[in-house]
């Protein structure tokens, strides 16, 4: 009887310290500069957009930060309305929304994210002139108003 009890008790005694060691192991923390990097990639400037686009194309270099790079682009709106390439502007907007929501600071940043989105869309429109430019600017304004009011 003693040997039948000793084996399960010994195994249980060994399992407890092992379980405690696993539970006590610290989770891999994101680098301390994550908020600053997120902020730098979500400003209204073209350089902010360019930095984000470069990082997006090299996501593996930022894996320790735990950024959410997922996107549904322009959600239920066309990604390229009337042929205007808004898809990447929408992707950056999604990046800002998803990561600031995850950080718990979305409300404090929503206005800036929406303004950066509008700035990105307007930069797309600079490639056009005349009636096509007017149409692009109107589309950009419509997309901005949608995220400003409904986003």
Q: Active-site residue among 48, 67, 93, 144?
A: 93
User: Is-catalytic flag, 93?
Assistant: yes
Contact indicator for 47, 83 with CB cutoff of 8 Å? no
Distance separating alpha carbons of residues 96 and 76, to the nearest angstrom: 18
**Rounded (10°) angle between helices 46-56 and 87-103:** 80
Distance separating alpha carbons of residues 120 and 46, to the nearest angstrom: 7
Classify the C-alpha dihedral 106-107-112-115 as positive or negative: positive
* The two three-digit tokens of residue 88, written as one number: 């990447």
Backbone torsion region of residue 3, taken as left when φ is above 0, otherwise alpha when ψ lies between -120 and 50, otherwise beta: alpha
> Which residues are designated catalytic?
93
């Amino acid at each position: 009887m003693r040997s039948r009890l000793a084996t399960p008790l010994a195994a249980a005694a060994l399992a407890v310290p092992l379980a405690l060691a696993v539970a006590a192991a610290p989770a891999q923390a994101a680098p301390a500069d994550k908020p600053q990097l997120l902020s730098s990639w979500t400003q209204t400037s073209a350089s902010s957009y360019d930095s984000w686009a470069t990082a997006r194309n090299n996501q593996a270099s930022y894996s320790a930060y735990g950024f959410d790079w997922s996107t549904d682009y322009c959600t239920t709106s066309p990604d390229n309305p009337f042929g205007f390439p808004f898809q990447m502007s929408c992707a950056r907007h999604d990046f800002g929304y998803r990561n600031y929501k995850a950080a718990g600071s979305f409300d404090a940043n929503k206005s800036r994210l929406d303004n950066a989105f509008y700035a990105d869309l307007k930069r797309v429109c600079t490639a056009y002139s005349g009636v096509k430019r007017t149409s692009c600017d109107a589309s950009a304004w419509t997309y901005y108003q949608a995220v400003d009011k409904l986003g």
